[in-house]
Structure 1
Amino acid sequence: MPIAKTPAITGYAAAWSIVFVWSFWLIVSRVAGNSGLTVYDLAAMRYGLASIVALPLCIYYKPWRGMRLTQIAVLSFILGPVYILLVFSGFLYAPAAHGGIFMNGVLPLISILFGVILFGLRPGLRQLSGAALILISAIVLTWDGSATSGKDAWVGDLFFVIGAMFFSTYMILSERWQLGSMQIIFCGTIVNAVIYLPIWALFLPSGLADAPMGPLLLQAVYQGFVPNLIGLLFIAHASRAIGNANTSSILAAVPGGGALLGALILGEALSVTGIVALVVLTIGLLISVRRRLPPPV
């Protein structure tokens, strides 16, 4: 019995650890615009710095063995510059709280839609009820954000939702293909570094040379090592151990953490309508949790 329970315990621990890590990542990404760095610089940090750690490991473990070329191409694209540049651009228009709401909060809803469309899975009444509350809350928060955070906040929200679609696809494939940690790091970091860094260095605008040292180090540590190393490893383990639906639901606790930190650190306050919608969103997330039956004795 203890052996059978261990993977689930570590899976829940990994998922909840990411909740705390990502709540701070929302704040760090939101303040990146004040550092003089461009979104292209942040993407370069994400792939370039992480690859310094990942490259020796990939050379040693050779994670490309056992992977089809199509798997490498698909996973690298999903975790690639299109996804991360959309996310970073979202923070230029919308507050940090919206990043948590529209990237993490809608994950269960997107997972349900993709499950129906791609695999013909039929969600239960509980999942549908939770998804309905999530959808209503997201609509209200979009409207409220345009009123309290500026008329262009919806643009950032849209970028965040598209980013959530990319990430939900990654989680589904991670579970379906049973990908190893080094395989994910290889595709998400090394392949994208090889493709993106030359393009960034030769053609894309950069504020790296003029950025103050303090903000530069903060962004380097968080963007370079947290998402592509810690984040991907923990998410992959959680998805395999407790399933995509449970992982999505736990990660959807990030909106509350992001909103709280945004208010405490950045002074980003939600209106009364926004707070009510965030509460309803949280209820929807709790309802949508799919519990697995315990393993047979």
Structure 2
Amino acid sequence: MLAPPPASTRPAILGWLAALSSVSIWAVWAVATRHAVTHDLPPAAIGLFRFGVPALILLPFAWRIGLFPMGLGLFKGLALLGSGAPFFLIVASRHAICSGGRDRPLLPGTMPFFVALIGWFVFGERLAAVRVLGFALILVGIAGIGGHGVFFAGNGAWRGHLLLLAGAFLWGIYTHAYRRSGLTAYQGAALIGLWSFLILLPFGAPPLVRALGDGLTGPMLLQALLQGFVAGVAGIVLYGIAIDRLGASRAAALAPLGIILAALLAIPVLGEIPSPAAWIGIILATLGVVLASGIVGQPLSGAAASKGGR
């Protein structure tokens, strides 16, 4: 029988598992959101499911810390909230106004860059050369997977690009804000869910009532499960655990794996075979994730991650 890993490495192992699980959840969330806003419901109505379910399930945590937790501060509170209703509306609006999907890799692909840049410019965090190389390979891989239209496209596609980049930037801010908030993963998810639900309620309730009258109960229940419980509770909590165990930029570095998973899942599910350039992009992005995550090099213990936060 193999001996269990040393106690000092267990937090890091749990962090990697949490990060990989959250990446898989976000890949499913992206598909579910795109389908919903282009077929059944407007973004604000879907947002009520996305945040109402976690607000209800995690209500005891929000009740314990209150709507305005002591010591959090206005800036950190707004930075946390940015990953809630604002982030959701920005990304969902992009899916609603842009039919093309070649730029979708921009969101998970650039999020680690924003996390790393914010950490570097704002908090003075330094990155090893091997991790910088990893980020560069991720960027090249994104271009290969998404094709020419990821960065260069006409017909007003730049608006969709800006929306996805804005969403990635908000998520980068949230990653660092949560890291320094003093909240647990459950408390952070509860606070974001409750505030976002209250913000979206006046805008999402009327179309939700109309959808019920139109007989869309089935799609609504599916969105409640995928958006609310899977993404809103499990995804946010797991990502928070990954940040706690690994640090901000290491947890974020695994986000591009969602692009790779989506491309591979599209083969059996949608019958979409990646082009040769996309296969090269998948390989380069995978290698980039390995390098950017900090796995290569000196092993990182949970204690080190919690101190460095990089």
| TM superposition score category, shorter chain reference | 0.7 to 0.9
Q: Identify which range, 260-269 or 32-41, moves more after superposition.
A: 260-269
Tell me by how many angstroms 1:206 deviates: 6.3
Counterpart of 1:195 (choices 199, 222, 227) is: 199
**Equivalent residue for 1:226?**
230
**Equivalent residue for 1:115?**
119
**Equivalent residue for 2:306?**
none
Counterpart of 1:275 (choices 263, 275, 279) is: 279
RMSD: 3.2
Q: Identify which range, 270-279 or 24-33, moves more after superposition.
A: 270-279
Deviations 1:146-165 (A, max 9, x none): 69x99565543432222111
Amino acid across the alignment from 2:257: A
**Equivalent residue for 1:248?**
252
Q: Is contact 2:53-2:228 (8 Å) kept?
A: yes
Structure showing the higher helix proportion among its residues: 1
Consecutive unaligned residues in structure 2, runs of 5 or more: 304-310
**Equivalent residue for 1:177?**
181
Deviations 1:120-147 (A, max 9, x none): 3332221222222233344555653369
Question: Residues 174 and 60 (structure 1 numbering): CA distance in 2 closer, same or farther, change over 3 Å?
Answer: closer
**Equivalent residue for 2:148?**
144
Q: Is contact 1:175-1:239 (8 Å) kept?
A: yes
Tell me by how many angstroms 1:232 deviates: 1.3
Q: Is contact 2:242-2:251 (8 Å) kept?
A: yes
Paired with 1:237 and 1:49, the residues of 2 have a C-alpha distance of 20
Tell me by how many angstroms 1:245 deviates: 2.3
- TM value normalised by structure 2: 0.80
Q: Identify which range, 186-195 or 176-185, moves more after superposition.
A: 176-185
Q: Identify which range, 195-204 or 249-258, moves more after superposition.
A: 195-204
Amino acid across the alignment from 1:264: P
Amino acid across the alignment from 1:39: P
**Equivalent residue for 1:24?**
28
Q: Is contact 1:37-1:208 (8 Å) kept?
A: no
Paired with 2:272 and 2:160, the residues of 1 have a C-alpha distance of 15
Paired with 2:146 and 2:261, the residues of 1 have a C-alpha distance of 18
Tell me by how many angstroms 1:220 deviates: 1.5
Deviations 1:42-82 (A, max 9, x none): 11211223222122442256585433341563144312322
Question: Residues 70 and 27 (structure 1 numbering): CA distance in 2 closer, same or farther, change over 3 Å?
Answer: same
Paired with 1:108 and 1:259, the residues of 2 have a C-alpha distance of 19
Paired with 1:213 and 1:80, the residues of 2 have a C-alpha distance of 25
Q: Is contact 1:15-1:250 (8 Å) kept?
A: yes
Q: Say whether 1:8 aligns with 2:6.
A: no
Q: Is contact 1:96-1:259 (8 Å) kept?
A: no
Question: Residues 294 and 36 (structure 1 numbering): CA distance in 2 closer, same or farther, change over 3 Å?
Answer: closer
Question: Residues 63 and 13 (structure 1 numbering): CA distance in 2 closer, same or farther, change over 3 Å?
Answer: farther
Question: Residues 135 and 13 (structure 1 numbering): CA distance in 2 closer, same or farther, change over 3 Å?
Answer: closer
**Equivalent residue for 2:242?**
238
- TM value normalised by structure 1: 0.84
Structural mapping, 1:75-90, within 5 Å: 75-90=79-94
Amino acid across the alignment from 1:131: F
Amino acid across the alignment from 1:19: V
Q: Is contact 1:38-1:207 (8 Å) kept?
A: no
Q: Is contact 1:96-1:258 (8 Å) kept?
A: no
Q: Is contact 2:138-2:256 (8 Å) kept?
A: no
Structural mapping, 1:159-174, within 5 Å: 159-174=163-178
1:251 aligns to what SS in structure 2?
Answer: coil
Amino acid across the alignment from 1:124: A
Q: Is contact 1:140-1:277 (8 Å) kept?
A: yes
State the identity as a percent: 26
Tell me by how many angstroms 1:257 deviates: 0.6
**Equivalent residue for 2:56?**
52
